[in-house]
Amino acid sequence: MPVYDYVVVGGGTAGSVIASRLTEDPDVTVAVIEGGPSDLDRDEVLTLRRWLGLLGGELDYEYTTTEQPRGNSHILHSRAKVLGGCSSHNTLISFKPLPSDWDEWAAAGAAGWGAEEMDPYFGKLRNNIVRVAKKDQNQIATDWIEATKTALGVPEVVGFNDQPFEEGVGFFDLSYHPETNKRSSASVAYLHPHMEAGDRPNLTLMLETWAHKLELDGTAAKGVHVRTKDGEEVYVEAAREVLVCAGAVDTPRLLMHSGIGPKRDLEALGIPCVLDLPGVGENLLDHPESVIVWETDGPIPDNSAMDSDAGLFVKRDPEHKGPDLMFHFYQIPFTDNPERLGYERPEHGVSMTPNIPKSRSRGRLYLTSADPEVKPALDFRYFERDENGVDYDGDTLVDGIKLARRIAQAEPFAKWLKREVFPGPDVTDDAEISELVRKAAHTVYHPAGTCKMGAADDQLAVVDPELKIRGLSGIRIADASVFPTMPAVNPMLGVLMVGEKCADLLHKAPTQGGDA
């Protein structure tokens, strides 16, 4: 039975950070349990512009959603099955969460996680965070930025991470190496230097190994039961702590299969409940978005960092803290969902994706079987009306389509466009727009919140502000599942900062086993 000081479940965005930081001390041993293979020397993973080819492939867990009465029931929620997790899979759009995002966490009971306390962790990140390089600044994206400034009167932002913003348009900051178009993912930035140098003998990577149950001794977490790619069952013990970093889907899944979660649900499946924690799997968050597609008048220039290099933030409600509508600008016709509705993909085209920074949907993740191999059910409850019958999220998308059309009429962007493909120029009624864009809605792959952090009196809080699971010792969670609320911006840097803060908390913790 292998024993390590710390066992990290999940070698993804936060797990890579924590494993790297803990093993800076040569006297500390760490094992990382990662379900996927290494990303070293895998060009299809490391080349940023090849990200679309990873979706639905062998390195994707491919989670689906339950029936969504007012949304799209056909969304594939890609989750990465590779070292580096979703930072090895996504577009690496890199935003420091806004001060209002962190302060919202503190107000929600995450004491010590306000903007002032969290800001220093941005400076600790090892990723190469840079603005889309000049050579990658596609001319149509450049013209789109100019047209957006004209049409909407928003400022251009050069460096979204330089200072907090509420509105603005510009090229994104990305975690990449522009000279090679290679990722600066969590694994590349935090693990590869040591994997290549062989200078961390105290770090063990257990790849293609799947954690399926936590070992508990009363209320103390002791280790993890894992299955290797050859089917061998192994128990890995943690002398100090187990750190669960498996993400917003697989972290609550592991907890529930270990008997930690809503008692009634677990017992209905025949899983003995060890700790009744009703919040496990609740508060499922996302950034829903839809799409408007144009055919362009011929091909567009080929240079790009990853085909969605620019974006826009708008603040419609002056009372709202931060932006309340966001767009990615795709230099490709993004038509997967419109095609299912009968629309045809143009040979050449571009898209804008109206996105809801602060979605009011609150979904739920739950088990449907006691078999750990069976995927959990994800019910995002997209576009459900509130108690007053208002669909804030759907209305936000309608506003987005209208703003996008204004941009499409402004030069120098308008000269590129031949026609609107989806929803189509004849679709002008709000109810009709809403119906179509909800049916064609998709995800930006930002599930979060399913083991949320909160105060002691919050019945649905799963972890406390030190990331410790309520009612257990020797175990913490550090990944997007602990988000109490969703940042207005793409959350990857937020997850990295959670990893850095977790490492900090561990360095300050006592060293004896279950009390750590």
Binding residues for FAD are 82
Peptide bond into 412 cis (omega under 30): yes
Q: Which residue has the tokens 């994707």?
A: 60
Distance (Å) of CA 83 to CA 78, 205, 209, 383 = 15, 9, 11, 33
- Do 475 and 86 contact (CB within 8 A), yes or no? no
Active site residue 446: yes
By DSSP bridging, strand 173-177 and strand 129-131 are antiparallel
Query: One of 77, 442, 446, 507 is an active-site residue; which one?
Result: 446
- Do 421 and 349 contact (CB within 8 A), yes or no? yes
- Closest to 132 in 3D by CA, of 374, 298, 376, 310: 310
- Do 128 and 189 contact (CB within 8 A), yes or no? yes
Q: Positive or negative CA dihedral for 176, 182, 185, 190?
A: negative
Between CA 369 and CA 1 the distance in angstroms is: 29
Between CA 473 and CA 516 the distance in angstroms is: 7
Between CA 207 and CA 405 the distance in angstroms is: 47
For residue 84, give both structure tokens. 């580096």
Element at 407 (helix H, strand E): helix 392-408
Peptide bond into 423 cis (omega under 30): yes
By DSSP bridging, strand 210-217 and strand 220-227 are antiparallel
- Do 380 and 359 contact (CB within 8 A), yes or no? no
Q: 276: buried, middle or exposed (CB in 10 Å: 19+, 13-18, 0-12)?
A: middle
Distance (Å) of CA 120 to CA 99, 114, 164, 174 = 12, 11, 15, 19
Annotated binding site: 82
- Do 494 and 486 contact (CB within 8 A), yes or no? no
What separation, in Å, do the N-terminal and C-terminal C-alpha atoms of the chain show?
22
Residues annotated as part of the active site: 446
